[in-house]
Structure formats: C-alpha cells, structure tokens
Chains A and B, each alone.
Chain A
Amino acid sequence: MKIYSLGANPNKPCNILNFKGVSLMLDCGLDINSALHFLPLPLVASKRLSNLPNWIPKDAQDAALLDGELKECENRVLVDGPIEILPPQSDIFDICDVDTILLSNHACMLALPFITEETGFKGRVYATEPTLQIGRLYMEELVNYLERTPKSQRANRWKQVIQSLPPPLSGALRPNDWKKVYSTKAINASLAKVRMVGFNEKIDICGALTVMAVSSGYSLGSCNWIIHSGYEKIAYVSASSTLTTHPRPMDQVALRNADLLILTALTQTPVANPDSMLGEFCMAVGITKCVYIHSSPLWKKILISFTASTLRSGGSCLVPCHPSGLLYDLFECLSVHLDNIGLSQIPLFFFSPVAETSLAYSNIFAEWLSSGKQSKVYLPEEPFPHAHLIKNGRLKHFPSLHAEGFTNEYRQPCVVFCGHPSLRFGNVVHFIELWGNHSNHSIVFVEPDFPYLEALAPYQPLTMKIVHCPIDTSLSFTQANKLIRDLKPGNLLVPDVYLHPPVSAPLRSDLVIQELDPPALGMKSYQVLQLPIKRKQEKVHLDPALASRLEPIQFKTGLSASTLTGKLDARDNKFTLKVLNEEEGGTLYSAAERMLPRHPWGSVDTTQLLHLLSQHGLLDARVEDTPRGVVIHLPREDTVIQLEGSNTHVYCHDEALRRTLRDILLQCLPCL
C-alpha cells in the first residue's frame, strides 16, 4: 500500500492511495493561495491600482525583461496579470491509472476539472449531492469572477528571475506549473462525471474495495470515507467538525478501529492566543487599527458585537466570504443578534453570481442537516432562517453590483457579504476600493483560507477598520488528538507539517499530533510513502454444490477441517470456488494420472503396515530397527520403506508397486 501526495496544502488535499491494485484519489483540492501574488482584478478600472509604480529590480537587465510585469504597493511586489493557480501535480503518478476519485466536501474538490478534463482520467468520481451542487457553485463563482475581469496578457517573465525577487514572491510554489482557471464548459463536463452517493452507502470499487461516505459535520453533505477491503479498514478523515452548526453531526463511530487512519485538513487557525505577538506584527505592517479576535467558542458573540458597534456608529461592514457553508451560520446568528439589539432595520446584502442558487439549495438538503434543522421540514418550514429573511426583505441577494434593482435597495449602514475571500477578484474588490478610506467602515475576515494581511497587501494603506476573526470549524489539534485516542487506529498518517509546531508558533509543541505507538507517519508534499499495511486474507465464496461435497472431519466441538479442491473463478476481483470437473482438472499435467492431494498425519503402525503388505502379496518384508525408527526391506522388489516418526520415505523403482505402497501407507494414516 502506497500513498502519493499531489498537493502541498493539507487543507486542500489531493492524495492517491494505492491499495489492493486499486488507485483511489482522495479529494481534489485546489490551493488558490497563488492568487495572493497577483494584483486585484477590479470590475471598474481602478486609478489607484493602475497607477502603482513598477517594481524596480537591482539588475537593469531584469528590469528590461520584466517590462512592468511586477508592481509595487507599500513594499510588496505583486504580479500584474491574469490570475493563475497551482493544480495538483501529477508528475509522480499517472492520472490515467486512477480508478476512482472520492470527494469529501465542496472545499476539497475545486481542482476536479483540471484532473478530469486535462489528464487522461478515465475513472469514476463519487461525492454526496450537496458536495456536488455546492462545489459546482464555488467553481462557477470562481470562473465567473475571473472571466468578468479578463486580462489579456499572461505574466510569465517574472518566473525566470524568481530567485532575485523579494519575498514572499520569491517563495512562490512551483510557479511554472501555474495555470489559468478552467472554463464553464470544463466544469460541466467534469461534474457530469460525478456520481452522487448518500451517507453510509456502500460502493463497490472494481470489486476489490468497498467505500462508504460518513458524515464529517463540516458542511452540508461533507463526509469522511471508509475504505474497506473486507479485512483491512482505512478511514480517510478530511475536513471534519465536532462543533454543532447546521450540518449533520460527525459520525465518529464509523471511523473506529481502522488499520490506517489518514487525517488531514485540520484547522487553519491553530494559534490559540496570538494577541501579544499580533501587536508587533500589526505595527510592522503599519496597521494602526487592527483588532484580532481568535476563533473561540465565543467567536459569534465577539464578531457580532463588533459588527454591531460598527453599524451603530453609522459605518458599514464588509464580510469577504465564500458563497455557502459558514455564510448560512453567519446569516442566522447575525440576524438574531441584530434583532436583539434593535438593529433589525440594517439590511444584509449578499453578492454572488450564485447567491440565489446557493440560498435555494440550502433549503432543499434537509436530509443532510442537523436534526434540529431537519425537524423543521416536517412542519413543513424551511430549515434555514435565511429563507424567512429573504421573504421579509432583510436579506437581499444579487448576482453582482450591476444587477437590476440593487441601486434602489442600497442604503447604508449595511452588512455586505461577498467574495472572493482572497480579495483578488469578485465584488469584494469594489467594496474595499469604495470603503477603504473611511474609518467608520470595517472589514471583517471570517474565512480562514487566506492570511488576511497578505490578502490586504495591495490595498494598503487602508483606513477602514480591520477585524480578523477567522472562523474555522474544522478540528483543532486538541480535538484531533482526542479523536485519535478515541478511534484507536492501527496506524496514523498525517501531513508531515502536523508533526511539527506551526511555522507561526514554533514553540507551541501542543499544536502537533501527539506521539503515538506506532509513531504517526508523515506524508510530505509531492512524495510517495510506503504504508505498513499487509493484506493477509481474501474472501472466496464456496459454491453450494462444492460446499455440499465436503466431508469435514471433526476434531473437537467447534473445530473441524476438510481438504478442498475446486475451480477458482475470479471475476471482477471477486472469487468463487466451484466444483472442479474431471475433464477440466488435469490441464497442467494433462497426461498424468489425477489424484486429489491428501494430507496424512500421525505415525505409521508397523504391525498394521506389515499386515497390509502381506494382504497385497508382499510376503518377504524384512523389518530392521534403526536408531530413529524402522526400515522395511522388500528385497525381491528392490524396495525400501523408511519409517521415522512422522516421516516416511519409499525407495521404489517399479511405478505400479510404488502406487500400491502409497495407497497402503495412506490406509495406515489418518488423512485430511
């Protein structure tokens, strides 16, 4: 068993597990962090952005080569060009050989069109229905945003001089493998290959493995996968949450006692209390008004009170976000909170090309929701309160800023939810440009996917209030360690980075996967790892006709045995033992006499043997004692039978006689 890593971000995993001759791709995550190296793509040409100075390298030759491809903003170098991303890298494994792709949740599947449409992939893809639909929304939103703001010329020249560039651009991961995002056509073609599965649905993979999706509690329809060979059990745990939000709770029982637990996509905000450190950090980047709020059980309260104070002071609130998931929870608790503090009149705006679809879908996935939300549909009422918020006009959603009706509805103060959380494209670019210089407005970072300071880099200097309040419901290290203790896996495999404290907090030895026996295996980016799982058994079905021919010998109660010879029928990796017909039997030794193997045990009684020999007319047997047993000579036949405890050796050159002796010997011994 081997695992191949095709990506570098444990939260956007893409690994291939090779087991029992089957290659399973586990998730197909797309790391969009490369976007942070680019200038934002505004909807309307931005004077500020287009007036940013060219970055001047030390080497004049480089400057000529770059030809204004790199711009500088507040000491940060950014690429001026169409945004490119790094798809999973398949240089260590031929994607053609992947049999099946298992998708865990919408956030871990965005690279799917790259895999299914741009390689020779011929296999099947499995995902739950909400994962498929919400994943589609994410892809469509991404493509829509990038296609709305096209840049004609690709920026490639900087990649040639990458070593001489300042950080963080110099540390860009594999820039030569970056690609433009896929097309809508590719999304449709790719998603058409996805087969929908339900939780706890057993799916046969090539007849060799059974896979099953079990709820992971992270988002609508999110799952972990159980991979079973009939004997070995592998649990693949992707983004999971033990917190109570809207999805069905995580199914932990199903993950127990696996021979191998693969654990990835833990929280992206592991640093527990970074307040002190953050002060310095903020000073360094010149942000004067930075409030950092750690994601804690209190996150909702803190976020909401901050939003409320912004709103009270007449300022508006900008929340960069993805079009599903966490957003539903934000709508729910924010609206309730605004009601409680008498700010019900504040409108909530949600911009996304997929806003309407996202909200509509959220209300038809009752079967995938927490039991509280689920019970509402029995009334029947919409499971999410945002359906009600839309009906009474408090939540308004538009595909874009230019959408019909928006200008009439727009009023401040308000709360705006829009994408993309990288702040490089989408409606959010417009709002930062619009509100960035007003100190009574604020921007609240909730999505944990992007480091917020890097996201903000091209907008500096900013005067609007910045609140960093990342909400990552995925497992923390404490929760993960507890989970591992509960699940008791035979072996544990995690991304190698989880075995060391995070780079941002090198002294926090609690932010690692704790030591185990056997020690946890670390999976390094873009590498292959041999896994210590050995298969010992396989399932074979006995045909009833063959089963009825067996004549087992009972040794004691509950223990019996029988020799078994049959025809092994292997079809689709399933084995059946059938009756071996006489004419089929001897193909290997076609000319040979056929004899079913027999297995004697015990030792030969010399008296009985001699008696049987004389019955067969062999009357001249002469017995000679030796230190280890007896030797029986048949001088007339030039034959010797050596008996030594549980060993018998017959020296005989007459084939007919030898066979007689063989049969006599087997008569003297109990046989299986």
Chain B
Amino acid sequence: MTDIKVTPLGAGQDVGRSCILLQMGGKNIMLDCGMHMGYNDERRFPDFSYIADGNLTESLDCVIISHFHLDHCGALPFMTEMVGYSGPIYMTHPTKAIAPILLEDMRKVAVERKGETNFFTSAHIKDCMKKVIAVTLHQTVQVDSEIEIKAYYAGHVLGAAMFHVKVGNQSVVYTGDYNMTPDRHLGAAWIDKCRPNILISESTYATTIRDSKRCRERDFLKKVHDCVDRGGKVLIPVFALGRAQELCILLETYWERMNLKAPIYFAVGLTEKANNYYKMFITWTNQKIRKTFVQRNMFDFKHIRPFDKSYADTPGPMVVFATPGMLHAGLSLQLFKKWAPNENNMLIMPGYCVSGTVGAKVLSGAKKVETENRQVIEVKMSVQYMSFSAHADAKGIMQLIQYCEPQNVLLVHGEGVKMEFLKQKIQQEYGIDCYMPANGESAYIPCKPVVPVDVSLSLLKKEMALYDTVGAPDPKRPCRMHGVLVMKDNVLRLMEPEKAFGELGLNRHAIRFTSCLQLRLPGSASRAMDQIQLILNSQNTNYPVKPSEEGVLNLESVSIKMESTDKEDRKSMMISWALQDEDLATWIMSSLRQVIV
C-alpha cells in the first residue's frame, strides 16, 4: 500500500504563502507557489531547498496554481527564474491573464517603494508566464503518461480553480481558496463525486459560520452611508482584482438607488483594465451577469471614477478603494496614514490580513501602529472588519467534503487552533481521517489502492447470466465470480481457467468422477428421468438441467444417466462430473437424495 505524502512548504497551519508539495505514485507535484505578505526577509518565499538544492526541474513534475492571489502565486517568478524551474506550470486562462499584473504591481511596491534588491524583475515575470500552460474548466490535462489534472470552478476570485490531480489509481483534490456561496459576480464552487484519496482544503474560516450574505452587505452599506453622511472619508483597502469588483457592484447599485452624491474613487489605473478582464472572462462570472452581459455590462460603472493623489487632501466625504488590501504598502497605506488620526473617517477591511501587516495590527485593535520607517500612526478612525473574503466557511468546507467524498481530508491555509476544531468536526461527522501538517512537516496518508483488472467479457457475461437472469436481478444474492488471475508484465487479467492454462503454457489435468446413486422412483425409466429434471429445475431456475441424447441429463460438465431399473422401482443412476463442477454435482446428488429416497 503506497502512501501519499503531503508537505506544506507554506500554508501549513498558517494563512499566506500557500505552497504544498504533493508526492504520490512516484510523482512530485507542487500545489501553488505563494509568498507571505507579512515578511520582508527570506521567509517571504517558500523554502525550495526542501525539494532540491538549486534547480528544481529534475525534482518536480509540475506546478499547479489555483488562482491569482499573491499568497498563491507570488513566489512563482522567484521559483522559476531565480531558483530555476523549467517544467510545466498549469493555471486557468483568467489566472494566466491577471497574475502577471498583480506580480508586477507587487514587484514595483517591493523594489521601487521599499528599495528591495534581490527581487525578481519584470523580465522574470514575463519569462515565467511563458512557461504557463492555460487550462479550461473540467478539461482533462495529461501532464505526462501518468499525471492527469482537471480544474473545477472554485468561486473565490475570477479564474479561481480547484484541481483534481490523478496519478495512476490515486488522486488528490486541492481546493486552493474557494467559496461555496455565489456572490455578486462569481458563482459557487462545485465539484463532482470524484472520491479522491485526499481532499486538501483551505480552512481560513474553519470556525466561522458567517451570517447571511445579505446582512453583511446591508451592514457594510449602512456603515459606508453613515460615514459619508457625517462628512467622513471611507478607505477600503482591496486588491485590484477580485473583491474590489464585487464591492464596486454593491456600492454602484446602492448609490444609484439612494441617489447619493459623494464621490467613489477607485485607485490605481487598473480599474478599466481590470474590468476589461471581467468583461472578456464573463463566462467565469455568475449566471446573472452572464445572462445580462449583452444588454448591460455589470462592469461599466457610472459612479466610480479613477482616483488622483491630489484628492487625498480634498475636504468632504468620499469613498476610496485603494490597493493593496492588507495595508502593507502602496496607496492604501499612504491614505491610511493621512486619514487615520481623524475620528470621522472610517477604515473598512473587507478581507483577511496576514499577521505582521499594518492591516492585521489595526484589526487587532491597535491604537498606535508603527510602519516600516519607524513612523507611529495614531488610529482614531473607526475600523470595521467586514468579512467579504470569498472563502468557504465551516459549513461550506463540510459541504465540499460531502460533494467529493474523499477518503481523507488534509487542512491547510488556516490557523492551527481553528483547524483543530474543524478536524474534530470532520472526523466526527464523516468518520474519515483528517490531517493538518505544519510547514515543513510531512503527512503520510496510507491509501488502499483498488486494483484494476481486465476481465474477459465471456467470463463476466457467463457469471452475470448465471446469477442475474434477465429482468429480475436479485440484489440479495451475491454474484460469485471465479476465474484465474494472470499477472503478466504488470497487467492483470482475469480469465476462464481453460484460457489461463493456455496463457501460462500449462497442460491442464482433468479429473473426472463417476458415482452411482440408488434412488427409489416409480414408473418407467423415461418418466423417472423427467421427474428428476423437474425436481432439479424447480429448485434452481437459473441453472436449468437439459436433456441431451436419449436418457441423459446434462448440466455443465455433469451428466446424469439411468443405469438400470428393477421391479421395485429402484433406479440406479450414474452421475459423472469434472472436478470444477464438484459443487454442482454434490448439490445435485444431495437434492436427489433428499427428495426421493
């Protein structure tokens, strides 16, 4: 029984830097290649030296990226161009389109703003993306002769996918980040009953069961509205693509309905371009948007305009979407520094913040926050956490387990304590094993492989016909199958014994038995034979005894013949059979003895 080995290089009992090494059937597969936003040192990237020193191409069979968030793909250029990897990389079309933009964005922040060296370059990103093979949903991609991957819709962000990875008879589903409830622009994650050996699931919201979506939306809108009414400024740190589009749709419709005049800005020149991606990948959005896109494109916003830096000091209310989402750098951090000391203003954090970032500190209630250049900011603005991150909550995770019926679950991308809770719940509810390895720690999951065998159709049909008469199969009666399993060059074939002997080049030895049976049966010899036939066939309709030549009854290799009869109705029967029908002959003899003697 071969084990499947799973080693998180990131996201093991942790959120951020998703990077999971999967080893099964002699293949090494990397699931996601993310960076950690909370670190500025080498901990930012996964420790690739765990796999190999230097170039990874020899040690890895493929890399699969679930979606474009940087904590899932941020280390990819570093890995391919600086560490060295030239094997295949798989991601969906939208991810392939959008990931390089976010990577470039992050690169700029890291290099130009923070002045970091030893970071990947724009050229690295381009070269890295050239190695990417784009896949579509549900397409079966043959990575090599043994690895097969298939993408499923994951919701979370545009182009997010879950991947079913199959090597031989073993398979694993990796969810990436997913969302089991449809939102304003994306649909819900879906997977079929693929029954993998392991489901590797994210568990960001392992313990939360979030209140209904509508309530959260109303809450969010009310808070924004109140703040704008009192003349305050609302800062919403977001990533350029993804959550931002959903919030834009939400605010746009609310502004229209309430006829609000306060300006909404979307920072970074990305808006239009980002929305263009949404327009062209509309097949990845939800039903409603797809249905109406011909008449009205949801991503043409009327109330939302591009932001200019000079607006930061303009008096009066405004709502600003600014990147990045965790307040760790860039415009969102600048605006935060400016607006934080005013209690009229408001900060809405719509997503999860990696620990160590300014966003995380503010969210944990810090009233004074120190930024990278030792500057201390006083936080007087109200801080709201609105869980808009499209992750599955505990209920959603349980639902997904139900969908795909895994034999084991392995949790990643969540906090250890919360995972522990969910783990118990999964074990209780589904009675399956649940693992939660920490970073660098390997989980060995034993797998009972089901062995596929080629069975000759004649054998199968014979057995089926014997036990499963047309029209009325009896589910209670098991269908017994007997044959010889021939294992030749790792191919297993089940066949009739006669064929197997031919295949093995052996001379079969036939053993035959002949016994005499004394019965007391009235009437003539032929009448007695008719009666025997009737008796046997009434007991077993599936296996009819057939008369052949004069006075002989046949069933498989068994033949029943009348030897002699006398005046006292004593009949002497000769029964003859081959060894393989021993059971049948024994049954016939005992049935005859019981009924007649």
B283 at the A interface (CB under 8 A): yes
B374 at the A interface (CB under 8 A): no
Residues of A with C-beta under 8 A to B140: 200-202, 212
A173 at the B interface (CB under 8 A): no
Complex-state Cα separation, A604 to B450, whole angstroms: 39
Q: Are B450 and A201 in contact (CB under 8 A)?
A: no
CB-CB contacts below 8 Å: A533-580 with B: 535-544, 547, 550, 552, 555, 558-570, 575-577, 580
Nearest Cβ distance between residue A196 and chain B, in whole angstroms?
9
Surface stretch bound by B, among A61-69, A374-382, A447-455, A511-519: A374-382
Q: Would you give the 0/1 interface string for A577-591, flagging 1 where the beta carbon is closer than 8 Å to chain B? A: 100100011111111
Residues of A with C-beta under 8 A to B485: 550, 552, 561-564
Residues of A with C-beta under 8 A to B449: 544
Surface stretch bound by B, among A261-269, A500-508, A594-602: A594-602
Q: Are B509 and A646 in contact (CB under 8 A)?
A: yes
CB-CB contacts below 8 Å: B498-540 with A: 500-501, 504, 506-517, 540
Complex-state Cα separation, A129 to B482, whole angstroms: 46
A650 at the B interface (CB under 8 A): yes
Main secondary structure of the interface of B (DSSP, over half): mixed
Nearest Cβ distance between residue A198 and chain B, in whole angstroms?
4
B417 at the A interface (CB under 8 A): no
- Residue from the list A540, A541, A587 in contact with B477, Cβ < 8 A: A587
Nearest Cβ distance between residue B550 and chain A, in whole angstroms?
22
Interface size on A, residues (CB 8 A): 91
Nearest Cβ distance between residue A413 and chain B, in whole angstroms?
30
CB-CB contacts below 8 Å: B251-291 with A: 273, 276-277, 279-283
Residues of B with C-beta under 8 A to A378: 96-97
Residues of A with C-beta under 8 A to B583: 586, 588-589, 592-595, 597
B584 at the A interface (CB under 8 A): yes
B470 at the A interface (CB under 8 A): no
Q: Are B138 and A198 in contact (CB under 8 A)?
A: yes
Surface stretch bound by B, among A37-45, A147-155, A236-244, A359-367: A359-367
Residues of B with C-beta under 8 A to A594: 583
CB-CB contacts below 8 Å: A648-671 with B: 648-653, 655, 658, 662, 665-666, 669
Q: Are A580 and B478 in contact (CB under 8 A)?
A: yes
- Residue from the list B452, B494, B509, B513 in contact with A658, Cβ < 8 A: B513
B472 at the A interface (CB under 8 A): no
Taking CB as reference atom, which chain B residue is nearest A669? B509
CB-CB contacts below 8 Å: B278-319 with A: 279-283, 293-294
A647 at the B interface (CB under 8 A): yes
- Residue from the list B293, B448, B509, B587 in contact with A544, Cβ < 8 A: B448
Residues of A with C-beta under 8 A to B582: 595, 597, 662
Q: Are A539 and B512 in contact (CB under 8 A)?
A: no
User: A587 with B504: in contact, given A558-B488, A648-B511, A662-B513 (CB under 8 Å)?
Assistant: no
Nearest Cβ distance between residue B560 and chain A, in whole angstroms?
15
Complex-state Cα separation, A363 to B514, whole angstroms: 81
A-B contact count (CB 8 A): 259
B52 at the A interface (CB under 8 A): no
CB-CB contacts below 8 Å: B435-490 with A: 448-457, 460, 463-464, 466-468, 477-490
Q: Are A665 and B580 in contact (CB under 8 A)?
A: no
- Residue from the list B136, B139, B450, B484 in contact with A564, Cβ < 8 A: B484
- Residue from the list A380, A565, A604 in contact with B276, Cβ < 8 A: A380
Residues of A with C-beta under 8 A to B96: 378
A117 at the B interface (CB under 8 A): no
Q: Are B139 and A199 in contact (CB under 8 A)?
A: yes
Residues of B with C-beta under 8 A to A575: 455, 460
Complex-state Cα separation, A73 to B456, whole angstroms: 66
- Residue from the list B137, B277, B479, B500 in contact with A570, Cβ < 8 A: B479
CB-CB contacts below 8 Å: A367-400 with B: 367, 374, 377-378, 380, 382-383
Nearest Cβ distance between residue B490 and chain A, in whole angstroms?
8
Residues of B with C-beta under 8 A to A283: none
Residues of B with C-beta under 8 A to A589: 583-584, 586-587
Q: Are A591 and B97 in contact (CB under 8 A)?
A: no
Complex-state Cα separation, A40 to B45, whole angstroms: 70
Q: Are B543 and A588 in contact (CB under 8 A)?
A: yes
Q: Are A366 and B480 in contact (CB under 8 A)?
A: no
A672 at the B interface (CB under 8 A): yes
Q: Are A199 and B136 in contact (CB under 8 A)?
A: yes
Interface size on B, residues (CB 8 A): 85
Complex-state Cα separation, A565 to B515, whole angstroms: 27
Complex-state Cα separation, A540 to B134, whole angstroms: 35
Complex-state Cα separation, A550 to B485, whole angstroms: 9
A356 at the B interface (CB under 8 A): yes
Nearest Cβ distance between residue B142 and chain A, in whole angstroms?
8
Residues of A with C-beta under 8 A to B457: 535-538
Complex-state Cα separation, A133 to B515, whole angstroms: 74
Q: Are A364 and B479 in contact (CB under 8 A)?
A: no
Q: Are B510 and A565 in contact (CB under 8 A)?
A: no
A357 at the B interface (CB under 8 A): yes
Nearest Cβ distance between residue A128 and chain B, in whole angstroms?
10
A603 at the B interface (CB under 8 A): yes
Residues of A with C-beta under 8 A to B489: 558-559
Q: Are B453 and A357 in contact (CB under 8 A)?
A: no
Complex-state Cα separation, A377 to B283, whole angstroms: 13
B117 at the A interface (CB under 8 A): no
Residues of A with C-beta under 8 A to B580: 597, 599
Q: Are A568 and B479 in contact (CB under 8 A)?
A: yes
Nearest Cβ distance between residue A522 and chain B, in whole angstroms?
28
Taking CB as reference atom, which chain B residue is nearest A592? B587
Nearest Cβ distance between residue B564 and chain A, in whole angstroms?
14
Complex-state Cα separation, A538 to B463, whole angstroms: 13
A197 at the B interface (CB under 8 A): yes
Nearest Cβ distance between residue B193 and chain A, in whole angstroms?
10
- Which of A200, A201, A537 has most B Cβ within 10 Å? A537
Q: Are B480 and A585 in contact (CB under 8 A)?
A: yes
Q: Would you give the 0/1 interface string for B570-584, flagging 1 where the beta carbon is closer than 8 Å to chain A? A: 000000000110111
Residues of A with C-beta under 8 A to B141: 200
Q: Are B451 and A544 in contact (CB under 8 A)?
A: yes
Nearest Cβ distance between residue B500 and chain A, in whole angstroms?
6
Complex-state Cα separation, A323 to B222, whole angstroms: 47
Complex-state Cα separation, A563 to B484, whole angstroms: 4
Residues of A with C-beta under 8 A to B507: 601-603, 646
Complex-state Cα separation, A374 to B132, whole angstroms: 14
Q: Are A541 and B452 in contact (CB under 8 A)?
A: yes
B497 at the A interface (CB under 8 A): yes
B212 at the A interface (CB under 8 A): no
Nearest Cβ distance between residue A374 and chain B, in whole angstroms?
8
User: A559 with B501: in contact, given A212-B140, A537-B455, A600-B579 (CB under 8 Å)?
Assistant: no
Residues of B with C-beta under 8 A to A563: 482-485, 497
User: A565 with B480: in contact, given A570-B464, A588-B587, A649-B512 (CB under 8 Å)?
Assistant: yes
Residue contacts A-B, CB under 8 angstroms, 18 given: A356-B294, A360-B293, A537-B457, A544-B450, A558-B489, A558-B490, A563-B485, A564-B481, A564-B484, A577-B494, A588-B466, A591-B590, A591-B591, A594-B583, A599-B484, A648-B509, A650-B511, A662-B579
Other 4 A-B pairs with CB < 8 A, given A366-B280, A598-B579: A364-B279, A541-B450, A565-B482, A666-B511
Nearest first, the 7 closest Cβ-Cβ pairs linking A and B are A589-B587, A592-B587, A544-B448, A201-B138, A542-B451, A568-B479, A568-B481
Binding site for A on B (CB under 8 A): 1, 93, 96-97, 134, 136-141, 150, 273, 276-277, 279-283, 293-294, 448-457, 460, 463-464, 466-468, 477-490, 492-494, 497, 500-501, 504, 506-517, 540, 542-543, 579-580, 582-584, 586-587, 589-591, 594
